[in-house]
Amino acid sequence: MTTDVKVPTLGESITEATLGQWLKKPGEAVKADEPIASLETDKVAVEVPSPVDGVIGTLVVQEGDTVEVGALIATIEAGGGTSAGQVATGTGTEPRAKAEETVPPPAAEAPKPGTQATAAAYGNHEADPQSGQTLPMSPSVRRAVAEHGLDPAGLSGTGPGGRLTKEDVVKAAQSRPAPAPAAAAATPAAGARREERQRMSRLRKTVASRLKEAQNTAAMLTTFNDVDMSAVMEARAKYKDLFEKKHNVRLGFMGFFVKAACQALRDVPSVNAFIEGDDIVYHDYADISVAVSAPNGLVVPVIRDAHTMSVATIEKTIGDFGKRAKDGTLKMDEMKGGTFTISNGGVFGSLMSTPIINPPQSAVLGLHRIEERPVVRNGQVVVKPMMYLALSYDHRLIDGREAVTFLVALKNAIEDPTRLLIDL
């Protein structure tokens, strides 16, 4: 009996995806609900589960192909299947002993773990040191293995099913002992030039398209201010241990900024509004999009009804988003919507930037690094921990006065956090 595997529903308005990686090979046994492929959508990676127990039959599409929702991508045959160590032929398998008759003996001993080897020596797969099976490697992992000269058979994977991830390869390379001086002879000649061509991921193409659309559509302008972080830093230092003990989450700065932004959005509602055709759509709620880093690029999950949340709830939500963004388990619905965006480039060391609006939103707040700078207080030059704030906004909807008013309200709340408690 043959069962078809089709592209599942990916979310509202998403009609196609890219086949990023096959997690199973023809002839391998698979359990119901076990992931067999990874799809790249415009926002996140989605795993395709097996609908039944059986054996992987035909793989209809190749990695990198674009597939539509409902399209056939593979078949699953009834049966016990084989391990990855057995050789697959067509939609069935051959026992290992029979396959070995047609394979000539190796010309040389395989490289030992820890010696230099390229990904080409292992094809598209890595050896599982515990089971002796071979597991598929994604293109980025193969490339990282080749660049660092590692033997994938000697590496431990932390990905699904024990597969290697790029982070596993980088970590192994960093922990590898420094090569002996004699190895310097193998380094490329001085002045050697090389280049690499890599296909743009669907996520990166979507980000590029949307950012360019924002530049072409909105009348973007950026206004700046700076904020003294002394009060927030003192509060954090004083209460961080009690906060973590009670709420089981660290007290960061984003909780303060999200609360302050929600209060400022209430005072200046146009910053929280959209242009839709000839209409302006105002919102009596604040769904805050927060940019977080993921392996494939920046993603922007949404804190729903942030205006109703405590600082602790906001910190927990952001922490959960960050963890699941790294794991690639964010859901489509968590990426949709949002009325206002906060992007924190300060975690990467940015001093100042002009962030780009996330359509159809009308404004985005950029946070930057905190550094001590001389400022004047009561006629005296003192050193304070300062941060630059940047608000990029659509001038078609938001006037300069409103943009500045928003930033000043935000600045006042951060410099005097008591305002957040007594609603000033």
d(CA 192, CA 188): 6
Q: Point out the catalytic residue in the list 65, 305, 333, 395.
A: 395
d(CA 341, CA 257): 11
Q: Helices marked H in 149-294 — which ranges?
A: 166-175, 202-217, 230-247, 254-267
Residues 392 and 234: beta-carbon distance below 8 Å: no
| Sequence-separated (6 or more) residues with CB below 8 Å from residue 211 | 356
d(CA 20, CA 337): 25
Residues 3 and 48: beta-carbon distance below 8 Å: no
What DSSP assignment string belongs to 69-96? TT-EEEEEESS--B-TTSEEETTEEE-H
Which among 2, 385, 33 has a CA at the least distance from the CA of 230? 385
- Beta strands at 2-6 and 72-77: parallel, antiparallel or unpaired: antiparallel
Catalytic annotation on 247?
A: no
- Provide the token pair at 34: 């076990």
Q: Point out the catalytic residue in the list 241, 327, 399, 416.
A: 399
CA dihedral 55, 60, 62, 67 (to 10 degrees): -120
Q: Helices marked H in 273-384 — which ranges?
A: 311-327
Rounded to 10 deg, the angle between the 230-247 and 311-327 helix axes is: 80
Catalytic annotation on 399?
A: yes
Active site residues: 395, 399
